[in-house]
Chains A and B, each alone.
Chain A
Amino acid sequence: MRRGLCLIAIVFATVALSAAPAGAVNLTGGCQGQGTSFDKDHNQIMSATAPSAEPGTSGNPFLADYDGTVEYAGTGPLMLDHHWEIKVFGIPVKSGGAPNGSHQTATIGVADVSDYLPFKITGVYYVSGEIHGDGGACSGNAYVKLLGSPVGTIPWIVAVGLIVVGVALGYASLPRAKPTATGLAALEPVFVSSAGPPPAPAIAQPMPPPVPISDEPPTPREHAPFGEPEPTVQQPPTPPPPPPPPSPRDDGSPA
C-alpha cells in the first residue's frame, strides 16, 4: 500500500511542481491531485488542482520558490512495477520507480523544489512528467515559474560571461586594414634600383651654441595683459650734448 501511495505521490509531485492556477494543468490517465507551494518561510504562494478544464499556458504559471516546498495529495489507478520521470524542457531532471507491492493508489507528502533542480534557477519553464506501470499510466504538464532574483545564480553568471566573451570576440572580428600586393609591388622598383629602401632624409645639423650678445644680463620686460596696449617705455632723459671743443680762434691765438 505504501509503495502505491508513493507512486501516486510521484505522479502528483510532477503535477504539483508543474501545476498552474486552477484550470491550468494537463493531467491524463485517471490521476487526480492538488498541491500548494510555499516559500522558505512557509508562506503560501499558490494552490493548484489537476486536471483542469483549461490548458496551462505560460501566462498563468504555477508559482514556486526554489528554496520552498510543495505540499501535494493525489490518487490514481493501481500501477505495479512503475517507472516515473520528470522533464524540464524535455530534459529529464529526475526519475525512479518501484514495484508497489503494497498496491497503493493514493499518497500525500511534501516535495522540496530544490530536489528537482541541479542548481538555483529562475524563470518560466515547461515541466512535464509521466508514470507508467502494470495497470495504468498518467502524464501531466504545465508551466512553472520559479520566483526570486536571478542575479548571482549560475545561469546568470554564464549568460553574462557569454555576452562579455561574445562582445570581445565581435570586436576582434571587425575588418582590419592591411597593405595590398599591388601597393607593395609599386614600391619594389624603388627598392631594387637603390639596393635597399629609399634613403632617409638628411638629418639637420645641430645648431651651434648660442653666443651671448653682451655681457649684461637681459633686462626683464613687462608685457601688458592680452588685449591691452603695451605700456609706454619711459626713456631716460638724454644728456645734453657735450660742448664743442674750443676752436683755435677762441683761444686768442692768431688765425
Chain B
Amino acid sequence: MKRKRHPIRGFFAGVFVGLGVAILLLIYGKMTTSSGWPALAIVGGFAVLGVLAGLFGPTRSRRSASAVR
C-alpha cells in the first residue's frame, strides 16, 4: 500500500487556521497591529505545520466497502 499525500491542501489548511488564530489574538488584545511580523509568523508557522501534516501525518483510514453500503 502507498500513502497518497496532500501537502498543498495542508498548506491552505494551515493558512486558514493561522489566520483565524491571528485574528483571535488581535481582537483579544494579545497582539497589536504595530507590526505585521507576528501575524505573518503565526500564519507561516501553521502553514508549515499543515504541509508537514499533509506529508507525514497519520494515515487517514479509507472508508470500507461495508460502511459504504
Contact = CB atoms under 8 A, between A and B. Distances in A.
Interface in B1-46: 1-7, 9-10, 12-21, 23-24, 26-29, 31-34, 36, 46
A174 B53 contact: yes
A125 B32 contact: yes
B20 A126 contact: no
Given A169-B12, A169-B16, A175 B21 contact: no
B34 A126 contact: yes
Q: Which of B1, B3, B26, B59 has the most CB of A within 10 A?
A: B26
A58 B34 CA distance: 8
B54 A126 contact: no
A160 B24 CA distance: 8
B28 A122 contact: yes
What size tier do the contact residues of chain A reach? 35 or more
A125 B23 contact: no
Nearest to A89: B33
Interface stretch (A4-12, A177-185, A227-235): A177-185
A187 interface: no
Contacts, number: 136
A58 B19 CA distance: 21
Contacts of B69: none
A167 B57 CA distance: 14
A175 B54 contact: yes
A7 B41 CA distance: 40
25 contacts: A58-B32, A58-B34, A88-B33, A89-B36, A123-B27, A125-B32, A145-B29, A155-B27, A159-B24, A162-B23, A163-B16, A163-B20, A163-B21, A166-B18, A166-B20, A167-B17, A169-B12, A170-B50, A173-B53, A173-B54, A175-B3, A175-B60, A177-B59, A177-B61, A180-B2
Interface of A: 58, 88-89, 121-126, 143, 145, 150, 153, 155-156, 158-163, 165-180, 183
Interface of B: 1-7, 9-10, 12-21, 23-24, 26-29, 31-34, 36, 46, 50, 53-62
